[in-house]
Amino acid sequence: MRILVLLKMVPDVVEELEVAPDGRSLDIEFLRLMVNERDDHALEEALLLKERYGGSVTVLALDAPEMDDALFTALAKGADRAVKVSDGGAGLNTRATASLFAQALSAVPDLWPADLVLTGCQAIDDLDGLLAPLLAHELNLPYLGLVTRVEVSGGEATLVKEYAGGVRGEFGVLLPAVLGVQAAERPPRYVPVARVRAAMKSQKIEAVPSAGEVEAVPVEVLHLAKPEATEHAEMLEGTSEEVAGKVCEVLAERGLL
């Protein structure tokens, strides 16, 4: 089985996000990027599938700060190959990202064909749409999102995806396909730092230039700002005991006790 995993960097919201002077983008001075959380799940699911069915996992990403760390970490976790598209540009809109990935698949030798393309089902900066369906459209492949489990038999995958209220749905899809992973079957594994450092010494990331141009952004941000809280909770203050008492008063007022 050949599996491709696409990784994308998104702003790390542990850091305070600020708006740049232009009023329409993020201030990059203290901005830190991290791998999209759902992409970590996509990688984990890919590694589980490799353990189950054999084959290879190739990780593909657009270059960005700290991307190398993420790619070596993926290699240390068990991915077989890591490819980085240079001049990809962090902060590209999702549609451009999808185009660059699609172009890389035909430009980079021995990347395509693959059986499965996995990526996170969504990211916090997907303003102009989700990566997985955009890529699926470019590649003319079937797509399903919110996937939480994949099994493969013959040229077909059976997968489970989420709906609402705890209800899930089972689908069959002909391979190759693009899947947006919501959660891997187990939480993303830990990899010892020594392994990552060893990967940095013994393995390489293939850096390939981005092929061709990307179409103009069809979606424009006029203004970016921290949200005004139109409402805000009435905050209860005091010592822990005092607050516990106040909470009970509120509950009692509403007839909940």
Partner 1 sequence: MGDGAVPAEQMIGEMTLENFREFPEGRKVLTCIQCGLCAGACPYGEAMDYPPRRIIGMLRAGMLEQVFASDSLLNCVACYACAAKCPRKIDLTGVLLPMVKEQVLIHRPDMPSELQRALESKLRYGNPMGESPRKRAAWVKTAGAPIRIMAEDPRPADVLWFVECYTSYYPRGQDNSRATARILHALGIDFAILGNEERCAGECGPLSWEPGLFNTLMEYNMAILQKYSFKRLVTSCPHAYDAFQHRYPYLGFRYPLDHTTPFIAHHLERLKPMLTRKLDYTVTYHDSCCLGRHNGFYDEPRMLLQAIPGVRLTEMTHNRVNTICCGGGGGGMWLDTYYKARGYERLSERRVREAVATGADVLAVSCTYEVPRFEDALKVLGYDKKMIVRDVTELLAEAMEG
Partner 2 sequence: MAGDIWALAEAWKGQVSEITYEMLALGREVAEGLGRGLQAVLLGHEVKGLAETLGLADGVLCVDHPALAGPPAEASCRVLGQLVRERGPTAILTPLTNVSWDVTTSLAAHLQAPFISFCKDAQVQDGRLQARCVLYGGKMEAIVVAGGGPTVLGILPGARPAEKGRAERTPSVEEVAVSLPEAPRAVFKNFIEPEAGDVDIARQEVLVAVGRGIQSQDNLALAGELARALGGAVCGSRPVIDQGWLPLSRQVGKSGAIVKPRLYLAAGVSGAPEHVEGMKDASLIVAINTDPQAPIFNVAHYGVVADALDLLPLITEEVRKVVSEKP
Residues forming the site for partner 1 (CB under 8 A): 14-16, 30, 34, 186-187, 189-190, 192-197
Q: Which is nearer to partner 1, 1 or 34 (CB)?
A: 34
Residues binding partner 2: number (CB under 8 A): 78
Q: Check residue 20 for interaction with partner 2 (CB under 8 A).
A: no
Least distance from C-beta 107 to partner 1, angstroms?
Answer: 33
- Please report, for residues 22, 27, 53, 128, 230, the alpha-carbon distance to residue 19 in angstroms, rounded to integers and kept in the order given: 8, 5, 46, 19, 20
| Strand bridging mode 156-162 / 143-153 | antiparallel
Least distance from C-beta 171 to partner 2, angstroms?
Answer: 5
Least distance from C-beta 229 to partner 2, angstroms?
Answer: 4
Least distance from C-beta 45 to partner 2, angstroms?
Answer: 13
Question: Per CB under 8 A, which region of 50-58, 78-86, 102-110, 243-251 contacts partner 2?
Answer: 243-251
Rounded distance between C-alpha atoms, residue 37 and residue 219, angstroms: 24
Least distance from C-beta 210 to partner 1, angstroms?
Answer: 28
Segment 108 to 127, residues that bind partner 2, using CB under 8 A = 121, 124-127
> Chain centroid to CA 93: how far?
14
Rg of the chain on CA atoms, in Å? 22
Q: Check residue 193 for interaction with partner 2 (CB under 8 A).
A: no
Q: Are the C-beta atoms of 126 and 94 separated by less than 8 Å?
A: yes
Q: Check residue 31 for interaction with partner 2 (CB under 8 A).
A: no
Q: Are the C-beta atoms of 146 and 133 separated by less than 8 Å?
A: no
Rounded distance between C-alpha atoms, residue 18 and residue 20, angstroms: 6
